[in-house]
Structure 1
């Protein structure tokens, strides 16, 4: 019973219910403006990236020496700030399928067009707009 409770607590959770998703405009291959109207917190963004519940580190490796078993299914996050602009990173987090329909990257801030969604996730983004901005703020600092 205790193991079930621990597994439940460790499982990823949908972002807190928001009144509605923040609107955004896609320009080319980017969402140039922050979803929240403000830049995020890079330190909180790093914590989200390495937290296995948010899934980043399950697929991506990066400059996280304290983390064992980093992913290798997706691009290494080292140098993300050199490869992509803030807006490009934002779109990749919000809905990477807009750039590549066959991507395995989850759409972290999309709630429509999915066929099989668990009840706990239905109508809710995986990450909140604030969490997206925090992760973007961290990823743009990765220059090496």
Structure 2
């Protein structure tokens, strides 16, 4: 094969690599919620990682689930909250579709919930713009990425009674 043909083929292949996303994610505004708040389809093509989800649960700079929820065997997570329900047995109580809907936007399942929508970019009630005290302008970035939501779901699904 002539050298210019090989070069052309490599250029074409490298162009395709840039055109194709590495891992497709559903944008927050494109999430399809069922009437009862479920999200059947994963938000990312990459399967959730329960270890990453466990870290997000306790990380005060990302999920910070620990601020409101407790998991009895998470002695490493200090100051677990009691505002939300304990997450022991979450994998038995809720399906992955239910968990995905609750994490993405809990108010669609539980309208009176204080839980923030971790994967939404609009529909907030007077969101703040960083720490300025000014109302933010929508769309706002979601609190977690689609992959982080899937990681949290994978972790919660492992919590069995």
Contact 1:50 1:64 in 2 (8 A): no
Deviation at 1:92, TM superposition (A): 0.2
Deviation at 1:21, TM superposition (A): 3.0
Gap runs ≥5 in structure 1: 1-17
Match of 1:24 among 31, 46, 58: 31
TM-score, scaled relative to structure 2 = 0.71
State the superposition RMSD in angstroms.
Answer: 2.1
Match of 1:42 among 40, 44, 50: 50
Question: Hey, what does 1:64 align to over in structure 2?
Answer: 74
Q: Distance in 1 between matches of 2:124 and 2:35?
A: 24
Question: Hey, what does 1:107 align to over in structure 2?
Answer: 117
Deviation at 1:22, TM superposition (A): 6.5
Question: Hey, what does 1:80 align to over in structure 2?
Answer: 90
TM-score, scaled relative to structure 1 = 0.79
Q: Which has the higher contact order (CA 8 A, sep 6+)?
A: 1
Deviation at 1:99, TM superposition (A): 1.4
Q: Distance in 1 between matches of 2:52 and 2:154?
A: 9
Q: Distance in 1 between matches of 2:97 and 2:113?
A: 18
- Count, aligned residues: 127
CA offsets 1:22-66 (integer angstroms, 9 cap, x no match): 622223431111011332111000000011222200000003012
Question: Hey, what does 2:3 align to over in structure 1?
Answer: none
* Structure ID, larger Rg: 2
Evaluate the alpha carbon distance shift between residue 136 and residue 100 of structure 1 in structure 2; reply closer, same or farther with a 3 A threshold: same
Deviation at 1:102, TM superposition (A): 1.6
